[in-house]
Each structure stands twice: as C-alpha cells, then as structure tokens.
Structure 1
Amino acid sequence: MEIEIRTLADVTPHLPQDAGLFVAHREGYSFVDYSYVTDGTFANSVAQQCRGLKFDEDGRLIARPFHKFFNIGEREDPSEVDWSGPHVVMDKLDGSMVHPAQIGGKLVLMTRKGLSAQARAAEAWASDGVWALSAALLAAGRTPIFEYTAPDNQIVINYPSPALTLLAVRDTVSGRYAPIEELRDLAATWAVPVVQVFEPIKDIRAFIRDGRALEGQEGRVVAFADGTRYKLKADAYVLRHRALAGLAHEKDLMRLIAEDGLDDVLPLLPPDVAARAHAYRNGLMARLHVLQREVQAFVETVTDLDRRQAAERITANLEPRLRKIAFMMLDGKDPWESVLVLLASAGRSSTQVDAMRDLLLTEWTGIPVGTDA
C-alpha cells in the first residue's frame, strides 16, 4: 500500500474527527495511532496508515510500521476479493509488533505507542543481527518490522523462548512492502528469524475453514504484491482472547470495546448479533465523546485556579461520576483516556453497568442462549 508520507503535516489534515485517531507527543518524538475503531476511523487511505507512525521533533517521518488491515470478511464478503492475484500466506504470530527508530541519536525499539515496556523487553533480547539490520535499513530510509514473542510476553499462545522475528520491511516514505524473497535474503544476511510462509490460497472457503480450525496458533496473514493485506484468526484463539461467549453480558461487551477487541469478534458472530454489537459500540463511543467534551470544557474554566479552588469548583458543579475524569484531565491526563475510565468502571460488574446506564445511555440485550456464536 503505497501512500507517500514525509511529515506529520501530511497526515493531520486526513484524520477524521471523533473517530479514535490521535497524535501523541513524547520527549523526542511523536506518533499517530488509534484508540478505538468506528465506521469512520479508516475512511481514507492516509488514515489507514495511522497505526503507530513515528515522527521526530521536527515532524519528519522516521518509522512506518504496518498499516491498518482487516480480518477476512470484516469489510467485504470474501467472494468480492480476487484471491488469484500474487500473494503470500504468512504465519500470524501472537506477540508484540516492534520496529526500530532513531530517537535523539539513539537506536531504539518501539511498539505502536512508542517507548513501551514491551519495547524495552524486546531490546533486552534483540540480537546483534537485529540491531545491525535495523541500523542498515533505517539509514536506507526503510522500516523493518518484527514480532517480539516470549514466555513473559504471552498473549494467548505460549512461546518457549524469546524471539524477534522479521515480519516485513517498508519503504518509510512510500510505504511499499518488500517482497518475501527480499525478507528471506535480509534474514539470512543478518542471521535473524523470518516469518514462516505457507502455500498460496487455492480455495478461499477451504482456507477460511482450515484457518479458523487452527489450534495453538493465532492465524494467518495474506499479503498481496500491491501491499493489500488481510488477516485470519483461528476460532480457538479468538474465543480465548476475546471471550466471545461474554457478549451475553453487557459488562463484558463494554470491556471488549474498551480493549479494542470487538473487531476480532465481529466476523465470528451471526449477522444480526454482529450488527447489534456494531451499533452498540458506535452509540457508546458517540456518548463518551459528548461527555469528554463537556468535562474538558469545564476543566478549562478552572485550570488557572489553585488546586483547592479547582477541586471545590469540580465538586460543586460536576456530576459525581464525572469528577474523577475531571481531576485526571486537570492533572494533564489525555482527555480520551480519562473518559475511558467510565467504560473500565462499568465493565467491572453488571451492577456497575446498571449504575452507569443513565450516564452512558446504553442498552444491550445480549446473545440468546443457544446462538451459534
């Protein structure tokens, strides 16, 4: 998927409002990512690139991990895709995506959201080959992408020993993906593991059936020569990871939405249940945005007061359930991350959901017993 990006200014005009995409500024760098997904989040080709793009202090693009790609069947029927085009089927590893970047003159590893605990753990296990390959490709204007798997970084699948596996290489400016043959050559040259490749798709129905039946694996990724990608997750993996049966309870659906996990479950649901869950999420996100704007506007009126005066104003004027959010914003916390506290609180129990219902304006009737979900 080739979309030229050189600076942060090339991206920000294309970010849909109130759709989960955000720009975060950290010491020495910035990144663009998303915190949740609605119908409008990836409405254009630039927005689809916003999955951990990294920029330096001057706004220049310095690293380009994977673009946002979707589950088979998530956005169109599998029959609408030409599976006969040149493509590669790869193993979908169950770890943390990491990539290198130069920050303040230092070569580091990053996850989607930058210098994270998972990135630091990956650095501890990175081989000389990983560092050498990373330095060489970054200098050439390219971004290598790895998956960090380890016993202490287990998501669902247990990997017996730590590894950094080369998944892809992208041209940082254009976004072009390197062909699998080049990945293999790079892996051999620098002595790093490379992602496992399987036979191309001959029958999409059989591919989906067999992929969903996988045990002990997350799934498969299909990468076309033009950069288009799809993922397919095994049913057993998704069921364990996202607790599909928990959709019978609103608290679990809220927690699933808060963890950005609903998209992985939707393709496995009966169409009517998927449509209801989709509509529920959109309505909930719209309501949370209203609350965010209301609380943020109030906090802006007390930021010039001292702490005691600001606290008195918040306590006197805000609905009790919104006060914690206001104090978080007052302390400089991200407004959206602050308002998500409401979702986390409601997701603790059905009692909490009922206690928050008049504030969040939600209603979920669950999945009927016996539904094939």
Structure 2
Amino acid sequence: MISPTLDRPQAALRSGFFLGDGTVFPVIEHIDDVLPHIAGDNGIYVSRYATHDTIGYGHHLDETFNSAMRRECRGLKFDKSGRLMAPPFHKFFNLGERERVEEIDWSRPHRVLEKLDGSMIHPALVDGGMVFMTRKGITAQAIEAGSHATESVRALARDRLAAGRTAIFEFTSPHNRIVIGYDRPALTLLAIRDNLTGTYTGFEEMQEMAGHFGVAVVRSHTVDGPTETLLNGVRGLADIEGYVVAFDDGHRLKLKTQHYALRHKTLAGLALEKNALECVVNDAIDDVVPLLPPMAAERLLLYQSRIQTGISRLEAQVAERLETLRGADRGTQARIINETLDKRLRPVAFKALDGKGARNAILDILRSATHSQTRIDAVRDLFAMSWDGEDFEIQDG
C-alpha cells in the first residue's frame, strides 16, 4: 500500500528547469516568473479576479507557444500575492501540427490514453478552501463539476494539493456534452502535476493512488504492434474523441478522430468562408489542421493568423484613441469617438469605456459576420481577410 501523501522531489526544487528527454518544464513559483516571457502581443493575457489571477491565451499566433514558459500559459492560477496555486496541463499539440508521425521517436516509453470529450477541471485552494476550476477559472462548468465531485475525488484532490501537486480531471456529463454523449456526470483523473517542477506523476503511480482513493482513471490502451500503426487508423473511428500519447518524459501529443472533427462542423463546408471564419472565432482550428492536406492546412492557418493580427491591430487602435480621452466627460468622449473612429469600431470603443473589453467586442463583430457572406464582406477590410474556397479540398480518411 502506498502512502497517500508523498514527499515532493527535492532534487529539482531549485534547479531552475526540469529537463526530460527533449521536454523542458520551467519552474514556476510566482507570477513574476512568467510575466517577462509573455510581454507584447502574443495572444497570452492575465485575468485578474477578486480571489486569484489566471494566465491563459485567447488566441494563438505563430509565436504564442514558441517557448516552454509560454506553453505553460494554459490556465495557470495564482493567488493574490502572486504565488502559483495550480498548473493545469501544459499546451500540447495535435499529431501533425508540430510533429508528423514519421518524425517521432516511438521507442521512447509512452502510453496511449483515451481522450475524453468534456471539460478539464482541477482543484485549487482559495481563501483556505478547495474549489474546482476550468482553464479560465471558477466558471459555471467548474461549479457544476464541483457539485458532482464525490468525496473520493475531493479526498484525492486535497491530498495532492497538500503534497504540492495538482490533480487534473475531465468532467463529462449529459449536460456538458461537446460531441460524444455520456450517460452520467463523472470526474475522471487524467494526470497529476508537481506545482513547482511541472513534472507529471507516472501513470502506474497515479493509478495506484487513484485506486487507494477509489477514483476513476483515464483508460490506457494496450497497443499490439507499433503505436504509429494504431494512430494512423484512429481518424476513421467513431464514438470517441481520440487519443493522447503520453510519453514518460512529459511530452504529449493528441489525435482526434475525423468523425469527431466532422461533428464539430469544422471540416464540413470549409469551402464557404463563413464556416472557415466560424472555426477561427470558435478556436476550432486545432481540430481541423491535422486532418487536412498540407496546402489546405497552410491556407487555413494563414487565414487565422491574418484575422488574429487584425484583432490585435484594432484593439490597439481603439485603446490608443481612448487613451487620449482619459479624464474627458462622457459627452466629449462620445463626440470624439463618433468623429474620429470608423463607424464599425464605435460600439467597440463605447463598450471598452464601459469596462466590457475591446477584444470581446471586436470578436462580436466577427461572430456576427459568420452568419452570412454579405456580413463578412462588410468587415473584410477591417481584418484584411481573404479566402478562396476553390483551393480548399479535404482528403478522406
């Protein structure tokens, strides 16, 4: 029988970085360890709340995840003093997005885990009490997940927090359906991370601990033959989202089935620009790219990049105009906004003045545009968008 509360690995505590086999996890103790790495317009932002702060990404450009530290910016949680409370999963990519099957060293120890179709949930201590959070914080999904957390789940979560580690779960439910249906609400243990070093607990150790507490663990699939052979056949499967390949050194890859992507309406109809735009606005590009021919994937990613650049440019333009109006009365602000800003950006400026956020207001313009080609054409110049559906051909299988 294992001891429920395990000691932290001491060797890596002050090393600065944990070095795995090709995988680097930066040591993070305080929000100040991260902030210098995310300065500038790179899609990563800090969200401030009354009880905690988060660092995450709203969109990603080519440079968003170009360092180990930035790949950690997928929902890091800090208390109000800046101390790290919980690290969810680091950002890992679809097979084919950064590495193709033939480029991977499959001789490295690894497991093939089922990819569940729900919401990532993790615990954190806030004001002395344990709460559950999604990547974005204490959301409605997190509250719902917490209401279904059994005492066994809570006990394991508390035990790992006491040991300086964060348990990561997937919350699946008939009421939290993404694509795949589930009969009942459940939290399934996916991983356990060390809060300081970022290293992942080995699967066997995690499985033993879950057994001790009576908590369900994500399924690990036995592979008969080369792993790459299995993965090449995954795209045609149905009734599962896909798989995650978890290497012992911490490196991870994901592969979603074509059936899943199609059900997400990401592949169907991409010859129409409004569907391509919907993929960008809904952050669904990752579901599509691994399933596309290289040229088609390149075109879709370029389309996404142009739009994201346009969002950042427009946000900066509005912010620059509002900075000149600081301290002016509302009447003066309204007059100058109406006289100097493109009429399509005026609602963005007024929402920003009301504290609702310019970026979300700009995204609302794009969301509205997805309803028709006419609406897209009306804002095309704002975002420098261009799309040629005739060049977009999706391969089967």
Compute the TM-score of the two structures, normalised by the length of structure 1.
0.96
Q: Is the 8 A contact 2:193 2:199 kept in 1?
A: yes
SS at match of 2:178: coil
Structure 1 spans left out of the alignment, 5+ residues = none
Match of 1:223 among 243, 246, 255: 246
Percentage of identical aligned residues: 45
Partner of 2:3: none
Tell me what 1:211 maps to: 234
Residue 55 of structure 2 corresponds to residue 32 of structure 1: yes
The counterpart of 2:313, out of the listed 279, 286, 290, is 290
Q: Secondary structure at the match of 2:98?
A: coil
- Is the 1:20–1:35 Cα contact (8 Å) retained in structure 2? yes
- Note the aligned Cα RMSD (angstroms): 1.6
Q: Are the counterparts in 2 of residues 242 and 265 from structure 1 also a CA contact under 8 Å?
A: no
Q: Which residue, 186, 201, 204 being the options, matches 1:178?
A: 201
Q: 1:320 aligns with which of 343, 349, 352?
A: 343
Q: 1:182 to 1:204 in 2, by over 3 A?
A: closer
Aligned ranges 1:67-86 → 2 under 5 Å = 67-86=90-109
Shift of 1:129: 0.9
Residue aligning to 1:129: 152
Q: How far apart are residue 367 of structure 1 and its match?
A: 4.4
What is the aligned residue count? 373
Residue 301 of structure 2 is matched in structure 1 by 278
Q: Distance in 2 between matches of 1:206 and 1:157?
A: 24
- Say which SS state the counterpart of residue 73 (structure 1) adopts: coil
Which residue does 1:17 correspond to in 2? 40
Q: Does 1:93 align with 2:116?
A: yes
State how far apart, in whole Å, the 2-side matches of 1:207 and 1:171 are. 31
| 1:44 counterpart = 2:44 | no
Q: Does 1:335 align with 2:358?
A: yes
Contact 2:45–2:57, Cα closer than 8 Å, also in 1: yes
* Aligned position for 2:88: 65
Structure 2 residue 277 is matched with structure 1 residue 254? yes
Quote the Cα distance in structure 1 between the aligned partners of 2:367 and 2:257: 27
CA distance in 1, matches of 2:208, 2:98: 34
Q: Return the match for 1:364 from 367, 376, 387.
A: 387
The answer on whether the counterparts of 2:180 and 2:241 sit within 8 Å (CA) in structure 1 is yes
Q: CA deviation at 1:94?
A: 0.2
User: Which stretch shows the higher mean deviation, 203-212 or 71-80?
Assistant: 203-212
| C-alpha distance 202-39 of structure 1, shift in aligned 2 (>3 A) | farther
- 1:371 shift after superposition: 4.6
Structure 1 segments of 4 or more deviating over 6 A?
none
Q: 1:309 aligns with which of 326, 329, 332?
A: 332
- Which amino acid in 1 is paired with 2:235? R
Q: Which runs of 5+ in 2 are unaligned?
A: 1-23
1:11 is aligned with what amino acid?
A: V
Distance 1:167 1:251, change over 3 A: same
Q: Distance in 2 between matches of 1:208 and 1:242?
A: 22
Q: What secondary structure sits across from 2:206 in the alignment?
A: helix
**Could you tell me how far 1:36 is from its partner in structure 2?**
1.1
Greater mean alpha carbon deviation, residues 225-234 or residues 9-18: 9-18
Give the Cα separation in 2 of the matches to 1:9 and 1:174. Answer: 16
Cα deviation code 1:42-83 (max 9, x no counterpart): 011100111100000010000011000001111122111101
Question: Aligned equivalents of 1:215 and 1:66: distance in 2?
Answer: 26
What is the aligned partner in structure 1 of residue 11 from structure 2?
A: none
The yes-or-no answer on 1:160 pairing with 2:183 is yes
Instruction: Deviation per CA, 1:189-231: give whole Å up to 9, x if none.
Output: 1111111110247424422232112210000001001100000
Write the distance in 2 (CA, Å) between the matches of 1:370 and 1:300: 46
**Correspondence list, 1:179-194, <5 A:** 179-194=202-217
Give me the whole-angstrom Cα distance separating, in 1, the residues matched to 2:269 and 2:327.
45
Structure 2 length as normaliser, TM-score? 0.90
- How far off its partner does 1:342 sit? 2.3
| Cα deviation digits, residues 7-30 of structure 1 (max 9, x gap) | 111111111632211111111100
Q: Which residue of 1 aligns with 2:79?
A: 56
Tell me what 2:291 maps to: 268
The letter of the residue matching 2:69 is: V
State the 1:336 CA deviation: 2.5
Deviation at 1:268, TM superposition (A): 0.9
Q: Give me the whole-angstrom Cα distance separating, in 2, the residues matched to 1:241 and 1:200.
A: 28
